[in-house]
Structure 1
């Protein structure tokens, strides 16, 4: 079966990584405009780097949970395209082989001047030089608000070819990801939501399974394998 899976913050929350929208989340003490926009980075690169250094350390300390491991097992039985909105590498550390990071990755650095990207050190600073152009214009390789998500052409293609689309731990209010279920459904795919609570776009799904991802995902994978 051809399956496209979209994962969001809910799947990593059970590994101890705070969710974007949570009241005690990573963004509580910072305005989004200050730490998740190119304008914020231009205004105060020291603050932005400190913020993502903290997130990078938290992601490094986290470990994959049962949901991440179950999706890795699923890849051995079906044709799976795994897309994530998350910027951690828990899917890879669980053993998933080809993860599409549509919002970038904490473990990658990007040059704002020339576009070169490379593995990020644990701690980044505004003084870091791009290894390609030698300019002090390095930034986290994260898709900030107002920027285009990565790999959309590949993702739309996968959605169009899927028999089953599954969203796991997503809020359903961030586009373009919030439109994936509608797009896949129009192309004939069955759409399934696995979430702690109903998402904003729950009506776009044919079926819904509510509960912690570490419980619902392994059960669902077990039914398919």
Structure 2
């Protein structure tokens, strides 16, 4: 809880613990508990195609009592930007999410976008894509990019760690875009964060600053996100 004092080189913790910008406004963190139930958060903006609704809901088992529930309505390339975060090229995002219904093979859970820009059909950005599968550990992740609307996979997708993922299991995803380096990491809630990333690739196709947020491309499954943290300019995204 914010005690009215500001301490140099320490995070600033505002009431409700929802925006933690370190000195220099390098850190942005939300548990979604500052937002009104039943509506899309006021500073999150739908981008690109229509394909889901994203409403804050009271959610049992969430970190702070609420979560952003994304109900998918179509297999469309949709993004939702967090407008509190300034347009930036180099970002790191830490997100906790879960699927709240079953998925078919290769159905996207919910991706993270960095350097997002463009209109529907002309999208730009780098993306990590946590995905439900029906083999191995039942979930995987990979990297891809959008350049003027063309999707290209980057690197090689890999299965998530054991045990098998089930509906309502929370997982963590860390995604970093720094210069031409793009990396990803994914692990089960309750396990220690791995020291090494799952994959790092090098790419220079999307070089400019852009918005940061989430992205979905499949009609199922519906998901919930209860923690979303962004660090800028080479910093590490804070955990809860």
Q: Same fold (TM over 0.5)?
A: no
* Bigger strand share: 2
Select the structure of larger CA radius of gyration: 1
TM-score, normalization: structure 2? Answer: 0.26
TM-score, normalization: structure 1? Answer: 0.27
* Bigger helix share: 1
